[in-house]
Amino acid sequence: MISVQEAYEYCRRLTHRAGPHFSVGFRFLPAAKRNAIYAVYAFCRYADDIVDEKQEQPLEALLKQWQEELDRCYQQKPTHPITVALADAIQRYPIPKTGFEGLIEGCRMDLLYNRYPTFDSLMVYCDRVATTIRDLSLPVFGYRDPKGIEYGRALSTALQLTNIVRDIGEDLGRGRIYLPLDEIKAAGYSEEELTARVKNEAFLRLMAFQCRRVRDYFDESAKLLPCIEENARLSVSLMRNVYVALIDRIEKEPFAVLDRQIRLSWWGRGQVIARTMMAGSSS
């Protein structure tokens, strides 16, 4: 059986490879918290990859297997490197199993639905898959103010909606549209135009609306920082600020999301780190 330290290293490598934006701030957490967050993210990423990547086995069966591995993890009988690390993390922090179960249910929704008629219906999906901050990370970051849950939800939602806007073209390639269909229509655009990746003024209106809403969630999420333990604040600030920088890029190049995934370079992420640390030192 792989050692706990080797399992954490496995999760660290997976996290930095798969989530270069999301994980920018993780390096600034104390070691125990950092390891736990790596394990949490790796579990979530593995579940997400089941439905996003081509698999030889039926996807529902793979999700069921991952659910069973979660059960073994919480019984302290893990068999996968990710859950070996996670089994250690849940002994150190009160990370609820229900958060992971909700995530798996959200991934299952990807097998059932590829369109969302309204924002309310999309939020049902987001509330399940975007649990990484609200339900799973807050117990690791540490918080005492119960409002932290509300602000954690705002940050989780902002991150998920950023992913949706950023990944429009990639999701089209998988036959999925996450943008609410009624909002597409309200912008004067259409599902058919989106599928054909038509670049026009209506698409710009649609993107402007989506980005404004994401910013509103980011604004609300700024209230999370005073609610969490001081040694986690820089990490959360960086996570938030990197994603705000992604929205900045998307607003400057809205058509680009139809053709490719917008990313920040190492230099761009480094600039965010420098600005965030300077702001923290002057506050």
Whether 247 has a pLDDT exceeding 90, the answer reads yes
Count Cβ atoms below 10 Å from residue 27 Cβ, excluding itself: 13
Using 50, 70 and 90 to split pLDDT, how confident is the model at 280?
A: low
Whether 131 has a pLDDT exceeding 80, the answer reads no
Domains and CATH numbers, the chain: 1-112 (1.10.600.10), 113-283 (1.10.600.10)
* Contact status, residue 76 vs residue 27, Cβ threshold 8 Å: no
* Contact status, residue 15 vs residue 45, Cβ threshold 8 Å: yes
> What whole-number distance in Å separates Cα of residue 238 and Cα of residue 248?
15
Q: What is the pTM of this model?
A: 0.93
Reduced to 3 states (helix: H, G, I; strand: E, B; else coil), residue 144 is: coil
Whether 281 has a pLDDT exceeding 70, the answer reads no
Q: Quick one: pLDDT at residue 56?
A: 57
60-82: per-residue pLDDT in tens? Answer: 899 999 999 999 999 999 999 99
* Contact status, residue 226 vs residue 142, Cβ threshold 8 Å: no
Which runs of E-coded beta strand occur in 54-117?
A: none
